[in-house]
Amino acid sequence: MARLTPDNVEIALEIIGRYPRPKSALIPLLHLAQEQDGHVTDEAMAHIAELVGVSAAEVLGTASFYEMFKFEPVGRYMVNICTNISCQLMGGEELLEHAEHTLGIRPGQTTADGLFTIEDVECIAACTEAPCLQVNYRYFHRITNEEFDQLVADLRAGARNDIPAHGTLARVRQRIPVDRRAGVVTPEDTAQPVWLAGSQEAKS
């Protein structure tokens, strides 16, 4: 499957409808595509291009700028080990090395069983909890080598259903109820907001 499924098209159209310009929905839609297929396929990008009214090259231009989008299949679990300064000081590089040994792969590679990909990543905002890592963007703080091995074993055993497959960004989505929507405000909506009428700022 590569184009967005009808269900996902429905979600996509709803997301597009939240933005004053359709192109603003590009990154959210790329996440949606990655959630669907585990990585972003060419067909999905072409489909997204149609949905937001830009060229496929523009979609690729945006998508390839961002670290999180993968254009080739990756493991079910993306293990991101931080080696940036705070983590480096606390053993992040050693943890990464250990992970390479445990899984038998180098950063950027995927295990033969298709379960794990590891990456040597930049700061993930858990600096006081170094060394730290993420599995599919779920945090693991102050990780020892032993804890790492245990985590791998648990994931292999399917014992961590709190971690969804790669691509799933957030299991809770924003939903704007139709009756509560204030509505998009486009650059063409040049009227002063109603609640400002009579305000001092409006007068000044």
Q: Do 71 and 39 touch, CB atoms closer than 8 A? A: yes
Token pair 């009227």 is at which residue? 191
Minimum CB separation of residue 44 from other proteins in Å reads 12
Minimum CB separation of residue 108 from other proteins in Å reads 13
* Full strand arrangement of the beta sheet holding 138-140: 116-121, 77-82, 133-135, 138-140
Minimum CB separation of residue 112 from other proteins in Å reads 26
Which of 20/114 has CB closer to other proteins?
A: 20
Minimum CB separation of residue 174 from other proteins in Å reads 4
Which of 158/177 has CB closer to other proteins?
A: 177
In sequence order, the β-bridge partners of residue 134 are 80, 139
Q: Do 163 and 134 touch, CB atoms closer than 8 A? A: no
Which of 113/200 has CB closer to other proteins?
A: 200
For the packed helices 56-63 and 42-52, what is the interaxial angle rounded to 10 degrees? 110
Minimum CB separation of residue 149 from other proteins in Å reads 23
The residue type of 80 is N
Q: How far apart are CA 113 and CA 111, in angstroms?
A: 5
Which of 6/187 has CB closer to other proteins?
A: 187
Which of 11/68 has CB closer to other proteins?
A: 68
Phi, then psi, of 55 in degrees rounded to 5:
-85, 160
